[in-house]
Amino acid sequence: MDAGTTLLGSLLACAGVLGAALVAYLGKRGENALTGYSSLTERLQTERDRLERLVAERDSRIDELTTRHAADQTEIARLRLDVHRLGGTQ
């Protein structure tokens, strides 16, 4: 082999190593981006679940207060009728 062939072979080997290093770097970047995306998705799902629980608790409390309000209104109406029946003024 002459020096030119050896030099060309060395340059091709160097280019192959650099190409492999670039592919590995870009692959790792993609893997890191995917891991970050998965982590973000997991955090968003956890937050969504927490908010859904809060909304369910709030809705339950609203239902309870609505029932109590209706009972209070019924009691007020009954008391007004009693006052009127007994000759009082409202």
Does residue 61 surpass a pLDDT of 60? yes
Residue 2 covered by a domain: no
Residue 80 covered by a domain: yes
What whole-number percentage of the chain has pLDDT above 70? 90
Which 3 state secondary structure label does DSSP give 86?
A: coil
Does residue 33 surpass a pLDDT of 70? no
Residue 74 covered by a domain: yes
Query: Structural domain of residue 47, as residue ranges?
Result: 8-90
Does residue 31 surpass a pLDDT of 90? no
**More confident site: 7 or 46:** 46
How many CA atoms lie within 13 Å of 23's alpha carbon, on the beta-carbon side?
A: 6
Which 3 state secondary structure label does DSSP give 90?
A: coil
Q: Can you say how many angstroms the Cα of residue 7 is from the centroid of all Cα atoms in its chain?
A: 57
Which amino acid type is present at position 1?
Answer: M
Section 54-68 average pLDDT: 97
Does residue 48 surpass a pLDDT of 80? yes
Residue 1 covered by a domain: no
Residue 3 covered by a domain: no
**Domains contained in the chain, number:** 1
> What pTM was estimated for this model as a whole?
0.52
